[in-house]
Structures are given as C-alpha cells and as structure tokens.
Chain A
Amino acid sequence: MSEEKFDAIIVGGGLAGSAAAYALAKAGLEVAVIERGTSCGSKNVTGGRIYAHSLARLIPDYAETAPLERKIVKERIILMTGTGSTAVEYRDEKLKDDSCASYSVLRAKFDAWLAEKAEAEGALYITGIRVDELMREDGKICGVVADGDSLNADVVLLADGVHSLLAQQIGMKKDLSPHQVGVGVKEVIGLDEKTISDRFGVLPGEGVACLVAGHATGGAAGGGILYTNKNSISIGTVVNIGQIGAGEGLKVPDMIERLKDSPTIAPLIAGGELLEYAAHLVPEGGANMTPELVGDGVLIAGDAAGFVMNLGFTFRGMDLAIESGHLAAQAIIKAKEKGDFSAAGLSEYRTLLDNSFVMRDLKHFRKMPAFMDSPQIYKEIPEVAGEVLGSLFAIDGSAPKKLVKNVTSILKSKMKLTTVIKLASKAMGAM
C-alpha cells in the first residue's frame, strides 16, 4: 500500500462504516474503507428490518435505488407454547408513512448498495483485507496495519462490528460478557413472491415483521424473529449468550428448528427452500454497554459501540448504525476544519450522539435489558395467555367459568402474585 495519508480510514464496510464514508466523501474528504469480506455485507447478518428514518437523512432518495425487500405494514407479536400460540397483530396505514417507514432487507445486497453509494461519492473501498491492528504515534491512533501493510490517516473510525477486537486492543471497549450479547441464528428460506404475500395477507411489496417469545428458546431469554422478504422469508432465533443452558437447556441450533416446526410457523414456510444459514452476535446490553466512543485519532460507531436495542416488541440496530456513522462523519469534518484530531478535537461526536435519537433512545430504554431477562416472559406468560384463551375458544360442552376468576386462578397456578406485580412494574419502568 502507498505512503498516502487519508483523512480518515474506516474499519468495516457495514452500515455504520459506509454511512460515514458516504458523508465524508461527499464533504470532499479522502476516505478509505477497509472491509475483510470479499464484498461489503458478505460478513453481515440482520434479522432483519431497517427503520429508514436515519437513512432518509443521509440519502433522501434512498427508496429509488436501495435493495429494499418489502415495506413492513404489519407487526405481529406471538407468545408461543409447545402446542399453540397467542398473537397480537397491528396494522395501520400509518406504518406506510415515509416518516416511519421500515423495510425488510438482506445485508449482502443492502450493504453492497450503500458501499456503492459511498464509492460514487469518492470513497475508496479496499475489500478482502482484514485489519489486524491500529497504529499509534505519541499516544494518538494514526492508521491501521492490514495484511502486513500500514496505512496512515488522521483519524480511524472503528465500525468493525459487535466484537470490535480493535477497540478492545486499544482499551476503549471492555470484552463482551455473555449477558451483554445474544447469538442470532437465521435461515433465509426461498418462496415465491405471491405465495408469501398470500400467506401473510399483504399486497405486493408489503411485508410483515413477527417477533416470537416462548417455546422456541425453551424458556431461555430470547425469542424468534420472522421477516418477509420479496422472494424469501428470514426466520431465526436470538438467545442471550448468558442464558444458554437455561430453561430446558436447548442447543442453540435446535431453537430455530423448534420455531420452524411449531404449528404456528410451519405452514408459513411450507414448501420453502433453504437459501442460507447464518449466525451473528447481537449487542443486547443497550446503554449499559456503551464503550468509550472517542479517543485520540479514533471513534467507534455501530454495533462496535453496542448501538442496538432489543425492546421485546422490536429490534433496532441498523438505524442506529447509520446515524452513528453519519454523526461520526460530521465530527470528523469539524475536526478537519480545526486541524485537531485529538480526543478533544473529535469530542463533537459524543455531543452529536447525546443530542441524537441514538443516545436518547438507548437511555430511554436502559432498563429494558433487565426486564428482558425476566424468565416468565419466555415460559409462564405465553402459557397463561394460551390457557386463558383456550378456556374461551376450546368449547367442549363443559360448564364455562367466570372470566376474571378463571384468569386469576390460571395466573396463580403459574406465578406468584408478587412475581406478576414485579414483572408488570419492571415492564412499566422499562418502557
């Protein structure tokens, strides 16, 4: 590699990295993105659905060219037991508004698209090269070493994903502890477009997002996901790594099988063909796992900064990744104007983040990870819901019971009343 010095080197061509690269290149900075995969997205996995608001701020006309699978118009929350499920479904024309639009996406295509956008603005992409370490001079990060070559820059943006081994190397991020991350396992199942629309009750181009709690993870904190793509369905499970072995002690790869085999899900994917099997970690610690975001000559964005929210009713990560990359770029542009790439010169990043939805929402939901640890969500609650509804709908000629009395007795048979109250209060606090 050359002796050239870049304004910025970005490690990782995922959404945070390419969002930053796009904004930096557009502002005329010399920027290089180093991606270990053959192409951007080839190492990345989403559930997944992207909330488009932050992408719309970066690239207002994104919808014209981005490889969006389906616009999500219907949300389904499913509480699953061994024999059935209770679901809440929400749909409203409001979900189609541009202001709150969300789309199912597949990262191999989507990340490659964003990288192309950044490349068109002048960013240099170096793919198929792993960054092994960061270079430091007088305490300041001044470049990277990749495949034995060194590459210099005024600032390095670490957008190297959930583990961020590089941020750990330089002491900005503590190693992940098992309870801070979930392991996601996903299958992409091919089905034709019309079959998917018919099975999920949506029009062409429209799609559904489902989250499932209960049976699939065997009582361990986690759940199932299902998103409709254009010609495929993304289906998977996420389980907190600290919870592996809990409950029924299921093996992680068996959880997705349970989900697919369930009477609720099996008919939705029947006749499908497995196109891909993937696994990836998901940050689950929320605001409680934010690393140092700014150092001398270095910033951290996206999953590397733990910017993901598991809210139980939805996952958010890609919108935070894009926003944090975009804000990191703004801070770098300011630092360049001042000619100061020290931690002080780059500190605008922290301010921008604090004033953005990223830190606001992470803080708002900071008690959510503790609530999501409650084991009852994954076993007793789905069972109670199933038994209550079963007592209403499974009519066999026996005497009906008074509803309130019946609900109370089913609840009591599963949980102590104090547990129910604690859970409800934890839920209120977390939301």
Chain B
Amino acid sequence: MAKMSVDDKLGVVRFKVDEHNAHIIVDDTYQNMDEINLLVMACPASLYSYEDGKVAFNYEGCLECGTCRVLSSGKVIKSWSYPRGPLGVEYHQG
C-alpha cells in the first residue's frame, strides 16, 4: 500500500465539525516540554505540536479517543469533553 500521511488518513474520515465550540481546550502557554512531547507522540491524529513557543492544537480532526485527556488533564489539557451530539467524528466502519 502506498504510504499516507496522518493528514491524508484523516481526509478519509468523516467529521461533522462543531464550528463554534472546541471540545478540547489546551493551555497554549504550557511550557513543560516533556509533557508536550508526550502529547505530540501520543495523539493518533497528530493534532498536537509546539510552534513559536506555544502548544498548538486543532480539535477539528479529533478522533475522540481521549488519550490526551488521560495523559495530560490538568496539565496541557485545560478541559476535555466529547463534542456536542451529533458532532465530531463519525465512523462508518468502526
């Protein structure tokens, strides 16, 4: 199979994006690099990065696994909930 980037893989997944509310709020000023790197490594959708001295996160491609919640609640993660129904990821295989 041809190699695909995580972004390309997310392109195959169906989402109903909540345009108004982010269901995960990160503390973008958080600075403990060990914690930040852990999220960068852990997120299956590669949605976490560290750019220009800040934590960058895009909730739109979130697969709702909650790995970041388990790893970093109260640290990088300020608040975490599932998206409002029926928004967010929509699996057609599962």
Assuming the contacts A128-B85, A270-B1, A277-B12, asked whether A244 and B91 have C-beta atoms less than 8 A apart, the reply is no
Check A278–B93 contact: CB distance below 8 A. yes
Q: Chain A residues with Cβ under 8 A from B67's Cβ?
A: 183, 241, 252, 279, 281
Q: Chain A residues with Cβ under 8 A from B17's Cβ?
A: none
Q: How many residues of A contact B (CB 8 A)?
A: 62
A74 at the interface (CB under 8 A from B): no
B53 at the interface (CB under 8 A from A): no
In-complex Cβ contact of A276 among B1, B6, B92 (8 A): B92
Check B41–A107 contact: CB distance below 8 A. no
Write the nearest CB–CB distance from B49 to chain A, whole angstroms. 12
Identify which of residues 76-90 in chain B touch chain A, using a CB-to-CB cut-off of 8 Å.
81-86, 88-90
Check B94–A42 contact: CB distance below 8 A. yes
Assuming the contacts A187-B9, A276-B91, asked whether A252 and B1 have C-beta atoms less than 8 A apart, the reply is no
Q: Chain A residues with Cβ under 8 A from B16's Cβ?
A: 38
Q: Chain A residues with Cβ under 8 A from B71's Cβ?
A: 178, 241, 244
In-complex Cβ contact of A252 among B42, B70, B83, B88 (8 A): B42
B64 at the interface (CB under 8 A from A): yes
Measured CB to CB, the nearest residue on chain A to B13 is A277
Binds B, one of A43-51, A202-210, A306-314: A43-51
Check B13–A129 contact: CB distance below 8 A. no
Identify which of residues 1-48 in chain A touch chain B, using a CB-to-CB cut-off of 8 Å.
35-38, 41-46
Check A106–B94 contact: CB distance below 8 A. yes
Write the nearest CB–CB distance from A297 to chain B, whole angstroms. 23
A354 at the interface (CB under 8 A from B): no
B interface, how many residues as a size bin? 35 or more
Q: Chain B residues with Cβ under 8 A from A292's Cβ?
A: none
Docked pose: A175 CA to B72 CA in angstroms: 12
Docked pose: A221 CA to B64 CA in angstroms: 22
Docked pose: A41 CA to B86 CA in angstroms: 12
Write the nearest CB–CB distance from A273 to chain B, whole angstroms. 8
A163 at the interface (CB under 8 A from B): yes
Q: Chain B residues with Cβ under 8 A from A37's Cβ?
A: 85-86, 90
In-complex Cβ contact of B12 among A128, A183, A251, A275 (8 A): A275
Docked pose: A271 CA to B1 CA in angstroms: 6
Write the nearest CB–CB distance from A187 to chain B, whole angstroms. 7
Q: What per-residue 1/0 map shows which CB atoms of B43-77 lie under 8 Å from chain A? A: 11110000000000000000111110111010000
Q: What per-residue 1/0 map shows which CB atoms of B1-43 lie under 8 Å from chain A? A: 1011010011011001000000000000000000001101111
Check B86–A253 contact: CB distance below 8 A. no
Write the nearest CB–CB distance from B56 to chain A, whole angstroms. 16
Check A279–B63 contact: CB distance below 8 A. yes
Check A128–B86 contact: CB distance below 8 A. yes
Assuming the contacts A274-B9, A279-B63, asked whether A178 and B41 have C-beta atoms less than 8 A apart, the reply is no
Q: Chain B residues with Cβ under 8 A from A187's Cβ?
A: 9
A108 at the interface (CB under 8 A from B): yes
Docked pose: A257 CA to B9 CA in angstroms: 12
Write the nearest CB–CB distance from B76 to chain A, whole angstroms. 14
Check A280–B82 contact: CB distance below 8 A. no
Write the nearest CB–CB distance from B2 to chain A, whole angstroms. 9
Check A251–B65 contact: CB distance below 8 A. no
Check A253–B46 contact: CB distance below 8 A. yes
In-complex Cβ contact of A43 among B6, B10, B89 (8 A): B89
6 other A-B residue contacts (CB within 8 Å) besides A176-B70, A253-B6: A35-B85, A107-B91, A127-B85, A130-B85, A274-B1, A280-B65
20 contacts between A and B (CB under 8 A): A37-B90, A38-B90, A43-B91, A106-B94, A108-B92, A165-B82, A183-B65, A185-B44, A244-B38, A244-B41, A245-B38, A252-B42, A253-B43, A257-B3, A275-B12, A275-B93, A277-B9, A278-B93, A279-B63, A281-B67
B residues near A (Cβ < 8 Å) are 1, 3-4, 6, 9-10, 12-13, 16, 37-38, 40-46, 63-67, 69-71, 73, 81-86, 88-94
